[in-house]
Amino acid sequence: MEPIVQLGTEHVNPALSDPALGVMNFLNQVAMQFPQAISLAPGRPPEEHFAIGATLPYIERFVREGDLTQLHKADRHGIDSLGQYGRTNGVIGGLIARLLRRDEGILAAGNDIVVTIGAQEAMCLCLLTLCGRPGDVALTVDPAYIGMAGAARLLGIDVVGVPCSDTGIDLHALEKTVQDLARLGRRARVLYLCSDHANPTGLTLSVSERRRLLQAAQSLDLLLIEDGAYSYFCYDTQPLPPLKSLEGGERVIYLGSFAKTVFPGLRMGYVVAGQRVAVAVGESASLADEMSKAKSLLSVNTPALMQAVVGGLLLAHDCSLRDYVQPRVRAIHASRDAMLAALDKYAPRRADGSRPITWTRPSGGFFLTVTMPRPIGNAELLDCAKRYGVTWTPMSYFLLDQSPSPQLRLSFSYVTPDEAAEGIRRLAAWMQHFIDI
């Protein structure tokens, strides 16, 4: 037998023992243990719309029509120039700038955009560039996508939550948090949030809430990190203007992703970071340029072939993805409707007709939340998977402190309408256990 090196716990980064990193593991284990269960857990786009075979030829289109001047020796080597080391911040910033102008009303220069390995790398770049000093704190709405807080903890950066729910972000708590930190000599640098159909709450901020948040950021000297992951997935209303496009938007760092609009396996995202940074007396650089230094040490480049797929796709669609994503928007919309209808039909009522269990009616996105009469967690999830054949995600997974919560997140993005209805029928049977007779 080969000798084994056994490393003690003292050898390993304690951030890796963070319970937040274990919860997704538990969810995967449940999924593997009960493969026949209907999963209302994963926040994935449906594969039916990926059409990878039809997407790869966009590489050729980008090579024919794209701006390859940022690629080395592109004139001599055509497509092979995509194989070389390239510009750290990527080669499709200009096309993404046109996309942002058309689809989001965001005005950005191509040079202010860093093309990243999904939005996840973009979060790391924000944290590494902006929260790198002792006393720096990253704020995130709470609950939120766990990748932001997880990255902060991995990188040794303190993260503090600002309460939010499906009805809004608590701006009073935001102000108090920033002031409390300041009294301790610490500085809140950034606040991470999603303004449209947020994961996991489904929250969409109204335009007036967006304006109030921008004013708060201004008065608290805070940068906002706006995650636009779900901005295309509007079902009942027209898209609202992103924070980045509104007055005061210069305080916003915008994160984009092609995971939901094209497919996740591309690992294509970006960050818009045109803020100016003093780098020496009288000299400034763009935040995107500072981020490029960090990116050169994380991933060197975003794979140029993946950039070319998106670049060619944007060229072929005149730099708008609104029409391109319609089939999947319609599909997920239908699954949402089926899920809501099934909840109306199957969820338990009291004798007087009232509902002991409530749920949200999100106007878009991938998720809704259900509020149970008491906190639920792993034990209830396991029981529900085993006895009722349906899985979901406890809201506690998304809370910074993992505290018990009576809420759960249901995803309707990765199921057909029939699966959504059947999943809810099963879930409703499980819900009966929570009703006082």
Q: Name which of residues 109 to 148 contact its own copies (CB under 8 A).
A: 117-118, 120-121, 124, 128-133, 147
Dihedral (Cα; 53, 56, 61, 66), 10-degree rounding? 150
- For residues 183 and 137, what is the distance between their CA atoms, to the nearest angstrom? 13
The reply on whether position 435 binds its own copies by CB under 8 A is no
The reply on whether position 34 binds its own copies by CB under 8 A is no
Residues 36-65 that bind its own copies (CB under 8 A): 42, 44, 47-48, 50-53, 56, 59
Binding mask 4-33 for its own copies (x = CB under 8 A): xxxxxxxxxxxxxx---x--x---------
**The residue type at 422:** E
Closest CB to its own copies among residues 164, 223: 223
The reply on whether position 429 binds its own copies by CB under 8 A is no
- For residues 25 and 137, what is the distance between their CA atoms, to the nearest angstrom? 27
DSSP conformational letter for 242: P
The one among 92, 214, 294, 427 contacting its own copies by CB under 8 A? 294
B/e letters for 114-133, b = 16+ CB within 10 Å, e = fewer, are bbbbbbbbbbbbbbbbbbee
Q: How far is the CB of 35 from its own copies (least distance, A)?
A: 11
- For residues 206 and 218, what is the distance between their CA atoms, to the nearest angstrom? 18
Residue pair 228/256 in contact (Cβ under 8 Å)? The answer is: yes
User: 10 Å Cβ neighbour count for 169?
Assistant: 24
The reply on whether position 344 binds its own copies by CB under 8 A is no
Interacting span for its own copies (CB under 8 A) from 280-288, 323-331, 332-340, 420-428: 280-288
The reply on whether position 182 binds its own copies by CB under 8 A is no
Residue pair 99/261 in contact (Cβ under 8 Å)? The answer is: no
Residues 186-215 that bind its own copies (CB under 8 A): 189
Residues 60-89 that bind its own copies (CB under 8 A): 73, 76-77, 79-86
The reply on whether position 404 binds its own copies by CB under 8 A is no
- Among 102, 105, 103, 156, residue whose Cα is nearest residue 127: 156
Q: How far is the CB of 242 from its own copies (least distance, A)?
A: 15
The one among 266, 357, 372, 384 contacting its own copies by CB under 8 A? 266
Q: How far is the CB of 396 from its own copies (least distance, A)?
A: 19
The one among 299, 320, 378, 416 contacting its own copies by CB under 8 A? 299
Residues 236-265 that bind its own copies (CB under 8 A): 248, 250-251, 259, 263-265
The one among 182, 207, 300, 435 contacting its own copies by CB under 8 A? 300
- Angle, CA 186 vertex, CA 182 and CA 188 arms, to 5°: 80
Q: How far is the CB of 165 from its own copies (least distance, A)?
A: 25
Can you tell me whether residue 379 is helix, strand or coil? Answer: helix
- For residues 331 and 337, what is the distance between their CA atoms, to the nearest angstrom? 10
